[in-house]
């Protein structure tokens, strides 16, 4: 087993089943006897959760896209310093509901912020830290919004138009095409038992690879 913990992230559009997937992944890791920290973005620390409330709350005046971008990275800087890096350093694994791929997909592809601007902040805040594995829960936008709508009242992002979420989905799929070794696309439109079977297989394989020191 590698000494440093592994960093796994779950991504996808709203209602894609990330929360559902988190518990499936966690079960596999815990069953393998590995220490696990489960967290989310934006959030994961007291300051990060306060920023999450600011970011997701409804605002009549909206939010300037650069302000939104900077608040996401402010929350991420705190999250890395206080929670993620200390856990990885002692060999625990970290499972995070959303990370920087969300920024490229939502602020970049969705809102039109330039990739170069996001990359500059990514490099400043993260250095060379990157998830070891990302599961992209992919499904048609209409199905994701239908599922998200059943679960809770729409947040500030979910009020946005379907076209926005189509751009976000395509942004994610582009990252997956560019980084196929890190990003595994899971067809989240299927019934839960099929999704669970694929996720269990992917995570069990990943654990085996880490145990043999190849990932």
Residue numbers at the binding site for ligand Z5A (CB under 6 A) = 12, 14-20, 41-42, 56, 72, 97-98, 102-103, 106-107, 147-148, 150-151, 155, 157-158, 188, 191-192, 195
Structure tokens, 39: 């967290």
Closer CB to ligand Z5A, 42 or 131, in the complex: 42
Q: Which is nearer to ligand Z5A, 169 or 210 (CB)?
A: 169
Q: Which of 145, 60, 71 is nearest to 103 (CA)?
A: 71
Among 148, 150, 159, 145, CA closest to 63 = 159
Nearest approach, Cβ of 181 to ligand Z5A (angstroms)? Answer: 22
Nearer to ligand Z5A, 97 or 138 (CB): 97
Indicate the residue among 4 and 190 with the shorter CB distance to ligand Z5A. Answer: 190
Burial track 141-156 (b if 16+ CB lie within 10 A, e otherwise): beebbebbeeeeeeee
Q: How far is Cα 130 from Cα 181, in angstroms, rounded to an integer?
A: 12
What is the closest distance, in whole angstroms, from the C-beta atom of residue 67 to ligand Z5A in the complex?
12
């Amino acid at each position: 087993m590698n000494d440093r913990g592994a960093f796994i992230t779950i991504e996808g559009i709203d209602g894609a089943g990330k929360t559902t997937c988190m518990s499936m992944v966690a079960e596999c890791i815990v069953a393998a006897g590995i220490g696990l920290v489960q967290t989310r973005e934006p959030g994961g620390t007291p300051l990060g959760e306060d920023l999450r409330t600011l970011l997701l709350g409804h605002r009549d005046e909206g939010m300037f896209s650069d302000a939104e971008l900077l608040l996401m990275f402010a929350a991420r800087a705190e999250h890395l310093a206080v929670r993620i890096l200390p856990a990885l350093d002692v060999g625990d694994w970290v499972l995070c509901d959303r990370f920087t791929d969300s920024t490229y997909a939502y602020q970049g592809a969705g809102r039109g912020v330039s990739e170069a601007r996001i990359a500059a902040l990514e490099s400043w805040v993260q250095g060379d830290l990157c998830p070891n594995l990302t599961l992209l829960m992919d499904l048609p936008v209409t199905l994701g919004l239908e599922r998200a709508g059943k679960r809770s009242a729409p947040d500030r992002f979910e009020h946005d138009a379907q076209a926005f979420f189509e751009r976000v989905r395509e942004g994610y799929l582009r990252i997956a095409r560019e980084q196929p070794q890190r990003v595994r696309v899971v067809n989240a439109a299927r019934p839960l038992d099929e999704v669970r079977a694929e996720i269990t297989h992917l995570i069990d394989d990943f654990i085996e690879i880490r145990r043999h020191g190849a990932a």
